[in-house]
Structure 1
């Protein structure tokens, strides 16, 4: 043991000798370049020393203080090198630039200034080094290291998310039983009762790392639970801060699917009651820490409004929490895994699909025994040991001193720290950076990697660029269970287990600070990374008054910044590498931004900025510039000076003095996503055939022209995106033809294409030849009259899965193809909206989801041959009185059938509907003239849900109740019965109130539906501020094509600033309808007046829908497919 201790400390002692030598060299040198070479060597040695010292268990304050100072010195050395390299880069760029010259920092005068500055910085670091080396006396007392892991960098790793949960089936079944148990059997339970029924709270209790959340997720996603709580299942993460108001807002958002911007807690409570009244819901409150009964008593009444059988499932580490929120017979103490289950879990993570090494497994069994049945410990150690097959290292883990800790939770944290110590140095930095974000925050993989790169944690290696290396680091952290992947539609996102987050904060103490978990007093002079979210001006002022002058990362999201604070950021925080200022109402960027010479990452999105200062072009280190959702009129001239720029999210193309020419993009090495928007007065379409984007690896390009009928074709041809392009969106294209770039399929790797408002184009390019195209959207292609062989090409869309035809007013024919062997072999989803002249469509062999809205009823005659169809939705077929013969008979795979807003429809084909052997859901909504349902519907054995709304159906409710026992009949709202009830209300207060309640319920439901649609359209927008700013970014297009949208935006701009969008207009309209209904005059009206109110409400939905349809949002209809909810309404 003594020999090992000496070996463990000799490394640091040896490096201390080298540090002494380098220190003396630096003092003796006079040449700046020679000093810089030694600075680089010094920086490398210090990083090695830090890594080795951190791998020990540091108990002495003196050692911790020494290590902290050494880290500060490492940061200072990086600043010296970065300053020197930046000045050299300026000099190089100044000598070769073909644009107007920048000031020469290496002129005779500035050379002196520069040399003096660098010399002062070097002197400062040598003084710091002297001070640190004088404290070396404790080095022989460093404790023993557990040894460094022999790594196999090529060993394949797997995401934790790909492994099955082990050993929780019995507990899952127990909790599922508690949730789905009939409440009539529980009358003796100690429950909380409401006027609507019983609310039961079930708690899962256990120490951190046992898998409470994992168990709750298993239960939440169980088919039995989904079926039992079909009305509403909600999940919210509570965390350490138990704020009843915040939780209520979260519940309301989950219940309605819409953002909530209400400050009055009583109003929130009332809306929750309306949203959940009569519904049997399940609410999961994950990770609850609150032990204050008064706070729970504030929240509890708001949740006792559901139907009998509603449940709350709580996960917590505290028995006290369980006692406060639940009862003894509704508490489940999560068990430790059995040794066999724990061993199986460890084996999965340690060996995966590889053959098990029996010698290592023997050691593994002993390690698992010490894990004490804690799954997180087994997962963490298995993930760590997966990348090495070195027996001595496995043995060192088995014999580690961490197993001597008495407290089991401390032991788990020590296990996680052991896994952290085994990480490569750069991975440690990348993991620690995640502590900048609050617990349960969902981090986007691509953005996280760019932040790592900007901070210098990740850099290029050999033939691999920095982003490729960053992806490897991210995937490695996932495979070792430091990060957990979370479901997301278009991008990869991750979060961390709360114990992992605790570990990240522990290893990054004093260096990282986030406003969600740290108070302002924790900010110090040596805080290097700061994140402030949703804070007022005073909090930002207090934070900046701490003078964190060494900040590398500053993220200010949705805070109020004044001009003085902005000036302080841009003028004094001179070491910033990352600056994010999203959603802060900024109107002007100070010219002092040019002082931030170290800046690599700048995000100014979602502000009110119209002009970027020219000084931004002095940021030669800048790699990522985000300026979308602004009001930019042009880009600053000289953008090509940013020779390191790799990502530019938005480019405003404009003419005139001071505007950056689009030609400057040719000189930048851009990749990733980009949007180019041409101003209204843009006329200079001549780029001299430069092929500006040909050598740029842009994978997503959005082009927004200005609707001019000039030379859009030439501009698109001159842009000439690289063949690696995967997503292309073209809007407001004014030319009559597309360039050869699209006609000849010169972009073979396209996966998604969107053409919008290309009003003059008569022909669609032969997209059928694109082998990888999966999604195609065609909107407002008004000049297109037919789609056939030219459109299908020779390929016939071999990979297309989603197709959207929207508002193609003159499209008459969509024919088969004589050239392609098979059309659309993989097409699953088809939307046809507002194509009134279209009468036919080709055969679609694998179509599963079909939505036809605002079209001619004759189009449905083609549906009968779509035998693979699973979901059929028909809306607003105004000329259709009945379904065409044979339309439904062969749809034997149909599981959901929705008919909505077909006001002339008089009957359903009962003889054909009886063949719908797999139908589970039937919805009939606002079919005013549909008098009855065919009797065959009542004989559909597979039908589970029947929904009838606003139909003139005759007969009593008893008729429906005599149908199949398993059918759940919902929302039977027949106008004749409603009118009769309103008539009877003249003599019956009870019936009067019942009619009002019915009206309120339906208006409430419509409000929820419309708000849900808004929420889906804004799924990428985190708050109402962003929605409004997004509206402003599209304002120019909206003004030219939709006067209603323009007036709405202007009104919101004057009244709400960035606090709301059309959502509030919707709420005001629905609230107005509710007030009218509640008034006595409405109660006394006849059935005709009620119909008038309903028509008025529908018109409001029409106006709101058409205004939203003009906004350019990603995946506009993808959300409609999942929700089967509201669709655009006909003008």
Structure 2
């Protein structure tokens, strides 16, 4: 982490020294000279950090030196941030300190600031120089890692009697190895992927030594690859295994030629254990030399990195999970209780099972902890291990963490920071990817990476850590299969705590009254998570931790002490970058928040009684994320919000009290996400945000809900919004209101609000205009649309021609009070009276070709769902030409609907039919049971009906 931190400070410092700023804030000469000296010192330190970070595991003195370097680097980072914030004020329009003709007092203030900056940078330079002198005591090597944990050399030998579990995985891999296909194209490559210590090598050894496997392959070869991937060494090892002699040649070409001749027309198994390299060129030459083998040959690799498996073009991937609890206990007890008399075993088993649970199914952890307890005889000694944090045990640090350190040191410096920061999450908690990325951004981990947006860099960092097995238990978005949430294995979390044990702390509710843990950090504490129950008082000693950069308060059951503590908290913790006050029962945010000048992430979600935010919030010029989700009584945003030029995310989902937004919102041109927009009419357009002001927010992405479109003024506002240009919007909700004053304009406004062509989710609600469907509601304009919701469009008597939409997967239609029948117009087959849009000239022969889910609800006048036939096209008629992929049909509160169309009853794809509060239709289903009963799951009025019931 020190390497990443020093690199970030160097980038910041370089920007300060060379940036061309307005004349009023350029650096004075003495500051520039001091900064140049400091830059040279930091470059000298950076040159030895790789060696220092790897030696800190075994050398306590090196660890203390690194902690001193990190503490000073943090202070330097704070100082530069203060300077950058001062500069940023001059870029804010209408800021009081920005004058065309600065006053004399302003020049005096500027000189004082320069003087303070010069003094502070000079003091920090002295501290860095002292640290640079100390480094000579350790004889560090330049840009090398001599202290890296030793990489174990594996072999194929194994004692099967010592292995517990993995039978299911072993059998699956053996079946794959023994599978023979005479039509085999290429060489099958099987990859076993998992975190360090999970048992990848053991599983490969079990498969390699299986008797059927031995009999199946003419040649079996085991090579421990490790890192770096030395092509010549690997080729020599393969050739020696094939010939039984150490090769005399040293050229890669000659080695590969001999390998090629030795395996030609032979069925062989090659195991490449512990592969790390992500450079495909290291593998390509060897792979090509192996292509002459007979069908049935296989390559089995083990790796910690999913990306390695992809680069090596694996044909099958086995992600290796943790052991079952009973398997982990068997492995642990075999080691910990070895040789103990039966009486001793019985007294320790209860505690031992609890300790084994702490291993969370990681075989290496079970072995290390078992080995630690093997020589501890008393129950008290075992209880002490159970009560300790794993990362605090020296034996675990030496036995369990070195394999994880190999994965850690393989990370680039930025990824090391990102991973270590995850120690801040409570163990076994669900981690929201979006929140994690925003917290990384707030800590400045992506500064200096100007080639991409921070959010995209964060996505890549998360994906990289996931592919390297640092995350697990992924929860994915059902719409696009992207990861939304994850967890960390408890041992991986312990490892992150080990890396940050002097910087990160989690205070649980039962220990918040104990300041001793805080005091033990000696001023190095930078990140704190605090859990408060309802009656827990806010611990006053937190005010003294002035260098905190993250404070995440987990409040439960409406703890009122938080609100009372905020003024003093804001006054003292001026280094904060991230602050989470969600669920804090906050009714009023103190104006003292202005003192948190470095704040970049502010989470206020679920403060249901918060009515408004102070205007001083708008002076937090560095703020990137403001989360107001479910602040349901929030009535207004501060009028000066336009000063937050760096704001990238305004999360205001379910802020029902907002009836308008400040005009200054149009200046937030950095916004990437804005959950809801409340538009006002043009009458008060000089003070409130209008629909046309959306044009300025050109970088919006994700989902956007536009509220109050019934107040949008006129059609020109809709055209100004230029929604179709916002290419990164994938979800859009257009919500009109219930008023009828401007209903004659709503159809034109809706027409003007054409979504971007790649939108995937669309909702239109409370539309009061006439039955005049927008021209863009067709297959060419919405070719990517997958999910559509139409609700409360009161004056529509017909449904739009939605059957044309080629990608539509789910459709929900509700509260269409004017619709009495659904027929061919719905399928997009022909033009109906009163319908101005026409199906495209290239209408698909299949209506709703990809629709999987269809739901109608609260259709109070709907009586007829008319049978339709696809018009003849001169091509052979096709079966299931309407909704051929429909799986779920849900009908609720359609009280007058009489029957279902025949084309639905004939669908073989339909798996679920739900009919609730539809009395006439329910009676129809009873009569048509022979035709309906073939559907696997049928629910009538909340009760699932068995096929044999009739």
Residue in structure 2 matched with residue 1100 of structure 1 by the alignment:
none
CA contact (8 A) 2:430 2:485 kept: yes
CA contact (8 A) 2:764 2:791 kept: yes
- Does residue 650 of structure 1 match 2:652? yes
CA contact (8 A) 1:478 1:485 kept: no
CA contact (8 A) 2:806 2:848 kept: yes
- Does residue 846 of structure 1 match 2:885? yes
Out of 753, 760, 774, the residue aligned to residue 786 of structure 2 is 774
CA contact (8 A) 1:50 1:70 kept: no
Residue in structure 2 matched with residue 698 of structure 1 by the alignment:
701
Out of 546, 549, 552, the residue aligned to residue 549 of structure 2 is 552
SS in 2 for 1:135: helix
TM-score, with normalisation over the residues of structure 2? 0.63
SS in 1 for 2:414: helix
CA shift, 1:553, in A, is: 1.0
Out of 793, 797, 802, the residue aligned to residue 785 of structure 1 is 797
CA contact (8 A) 2:224 2:273 kept: no
- Does residue 339 of structure 1 match 2:199? no
Out of 489, 500, 505, the residue aligned to residue 513 of structure 1 is 505
- Decide whether aligned partners of structure 1 residues 107 and 42 sit closer, same or farther in structure 2, where only a CA change above 3 A counts: farther
Residue in structure 2 matched with residue 754 of structure 1 by the alignment:
763
CA shift, 1:452, in A, is: 0.8
Out of 802, 811, 819, the residue aligned to residue 819 of structure 2 is 811
- Decide whether aligned partners of structure 1 residues 38 and 612 sit closer, same or farther in structure 2, where only a CA change above 3 A counts: farther
Give distance in 1, aligned partners of 2:484 and 2:691.
40
CA shift, 1:124, in A, is: 3.4
- Decide whether aligned partners of structure 1 residues 857 and 367 sit closer, same or farther in structure 2, where only a CA change above 3 A counts: closer
| Alpha-carbon displacement from aligned partner over 1:888-937 (angstroms, at most 9, x marks no partner) | 55558621111116xxxxxxxxxxxxxxxxxxxx824xxxxxxxx9xx82
CA contact (8 A) 2:532 2:555 kept: yes
Residue in structure 1 matched with residue 809 of structure 2 by the alignment:
801
CA contact (8 A) 1:754 1:778 kept: yes
CA shift, 1:844, in A, is: 2.2
CA shift, 1:32, in A, is: 1.9
Residue in structure 2 matched with residue 874 of structure 1 by the alignment:
915
CA shift, 1:40, in A, is: 4.7
- Does residue 823 of structure 1 match 2:847? yes
**CA RMSD after TM alignment:** 4.7
Q: Quick check: 824-833 or 772-781, which moved more?
A: 772-781
Residue in structure 2 matched with residue 860 of structure 1 by the alignment:
900
CA contact (8 A) 1:705 1:712 kept: no
| Alpha-carbon displacement from aligned partner over 1:241-284 (angstroms, at most 9, x marks no partner) | xxxxxxxxxxxxxxxxxxxxxxxxxxxxxxxxxxxxxxxxxxxx
SS in 1 for 2:898: helix
Residue in structure 2 matched with residue 85 of structure 1 by the alignment:
84
Residue in structure 2 matched with residue 580 of structure 1 by the alignment:
580
Give distance in 2, aligned partners of 1:404 and 1:846.
53
CA shift, 1:825, in A, is: 0.5
CA shift, 1:360, in A, is: 9.2
Give distance in 2, aligned partners of 1:488 and 1:347.
37
- Decide whether aligned partners of structure 1 residues 117 and 889 sit closer, same or farther in structure 2, where only a CA change above 3 A counts: farther
CA shift, 1:798, in A, is: 0.5
| Alpha-carbon displacement from aligned partner over 1:131-179 (angstroms, at most 9, x marks no partner) | 4345345312889934899xxxxxxxxxxxxxxx995317999xxxxxx
CA shift, 1:886, in A, is: 8.6
Give distance in 1, aligned partners of 2:806 and 2:96.
47
CA shift, 1:598, in A, is: 1.1
Give distance in 2, aligned partners of 1:53 and 1:567.
41
Give distance in 1, aligned partners of 2:311 and 2:733.
46
- Decide whether aligned partners of structure 1 residues 847 and 97 sit closer, same or farther in structure 2, where only a CA change above 3 A counts: farther
Residue in structure 1 matched with residue 948 of structure 2 by the alignment:
937
CA contact (8 A) 1:655 1:681 kept: no
Residue in structure 2 matched with residue 53 of structure 1 by the alignment:
52
User: What number of residue pairs does the alignment pair up?
Assistant: 684
- Decide whether aligned partners of structure 1 residues 674 and 923 sit closer, same or farther in structure 2, where only a CA change above 3 A counts: closer
SS in 2 for 1:768: coil
- Decide whether aligned partners of structure 1 residues 134 and 634 sit closer, same or farther in structure 2, where only a CA change above 3 A counts: same
Residue in structure 1 matched with residue 526 of structure 2 by the alignment:
528
- Decide whether aligned partners of structure 1 residues 570 and 104 sit closer, same or farther in structure 2, where only a CA change above 3 A counts: farther
Out of 733, 737, 743, the residue aligned to residue 729 of structure 1 is 733
SS in 2 for 1:700: strand
CA contact (8 A) 1:573 1:596 kept: yes
Give distance in 1, aligned partners of 2:100 and 2:638.
15
Out of 832, 851, 859, the residue aligned to residue 835 of structure 1 is 859
CA shift, 1:617, in A, is: 1.5
CA contact (8 A) 1:798 1:826 kept: yes
CA shift, 1:416, in A, is: 0.7
- Decide whether aligned partners of structure 1 residues 170 and 62 sit closer, same or farther in structure 2, where only a CA change above 3 A counts: closer
SS in 1 for 2:538: helix
CA contact (8 A) 1:510 1:526 kept: yes
CA contact (8 A) 1:39 1:81 kept: no
CA shift, 1:522, in A, is: 2.6
| Alpha-carbon displacement from aligned partner over 1:572-598 (angstroms, at most 9, x marks no partner) | 111111112111011111112112111
Gapped runs of 5+ residues in structure 1? Answer: 1-10, 150-164, 174-207, 215-334, 370-377, 390-402, 902-921, 925-932, 940-1131
Give distance in 1, aligned partners of 2:222 and 2:730.
40
SS in 2 for 1:533: strand
CA shift, 1:801, in A, is: 0.5
- Does residue 443 of structure 1 match 2:444? no
CA shift, 1:551, in A, is: 0.8
- Decide whether aligned partners of structure 1 residues 478 and 851 sit closer, same or farther in structure 2, where only a CA change above 3 A counts: same
Give distance in 1, aligned partners of 2:768 and 2:938.
34
- Decide whether aligned partners of structure 1 residues 350 and 857 sit closer, same or farther in structure 2, where only a CA change above 3 A counts: farther
Residue in structure 2 matched with residue 125 of structure 1 by the alignment:
124
Residue in structure 1 matched with residue 257 of structure 2 by the alignment:
none
TM-score, with normalisation over the residues of structure 1? 0.54
Q: Quick check: 630-639 or 671-680, which moved more?
A: 671-680
Residue in structure 2 matched with residue 668 of structure 1 by the alignment:
669
CA shift, 1:93, in A, is: 3.1
Equivalences for residues 418-429 of structure 1 within 5 A: 418-429=406-417
CA contact (8 A) 1:729 1:753 kept: yes
CA shift, 1:101, in A, is: 11
Give distance in 1, aligned partners of 2:639 and 2:222.
58
CA contact (8 A) 1:704 1:730 kept: yes
CA contact (8 A) 1:91 1:105 kept: no
- Decide whether aligned partners of structure 1 residues 761 and 699 sit closer, same or farther in structure 2, where only a CA change above 3 A counts: farther
Residue in structure 2 matched with residue 359 of structure 1 by the alignment:
235
CA shift, 1:78, in A, is: 1.0
Give distance in 1, aligned partners of 2:717 and 2:656.
11
- Decide whether aligned partners of structure 1 residues 436 and 129 sit closer, same or farther in structure 2, where only a CA change above 3 A counts: same
CA shift, 1:601, in A, is: 1.3
CA contact (8 A) 2:733 2:763 kept: yes
CA shift, 1:616, in A, is: 1.4
CA contact (8 A) 1:526 1:549 kept: no
CA shift, 1:872, in A, is: 0.8
- Decide whether aligned partners of structure 1 residues 422 and 94 sit closer, same or farther in structure 2, where only a CA change above 3 A counts: same
Residue in structure 2 matched with residue 374 of structure 1 by the alignment:
none
- Decide whether aligned partners of structure 1 residues 72 and 662 sit closer, same or farther in structure 2, where only a CA change above 3 A counts: same
Equivalences for residues 304-453 of structure 1 within 5 A: 337=203, 339-341=205-207, 359=235, 381=304, 411-453=399-441
- Decide whether aligned partners of structure 1 residues 69 and 632 sit closer, same or farther in structure 2, where only a CA change above 3 A counts: same
Give distance in 2, aligned partners of 1:784 and 1:528.
59
CA shift, 1:538, in A, is: 4.5
- Decide whether aligned partners of structure 1 residues 503 and 542 sit closer, same or farther in structure 2, where only a CA change above 3 A counts: same
| Alpha-carbon displacement from aligned partner over 1:497-532 (angstroms, at most 9, x marks no partner) | 222111111111110112249865332432111112
Give distance in 1, aligned partners of 2:759 and 2:224.
38
CA shift, 1:695, in A, is: 2.1
Give distance in 2, aligned partners of 1:654 and 1:167.
55
CA contact (8 A) 1:828 1:848 kept: yes
Give distance in 1, aligned partners of 2:691 and 2:677.
19
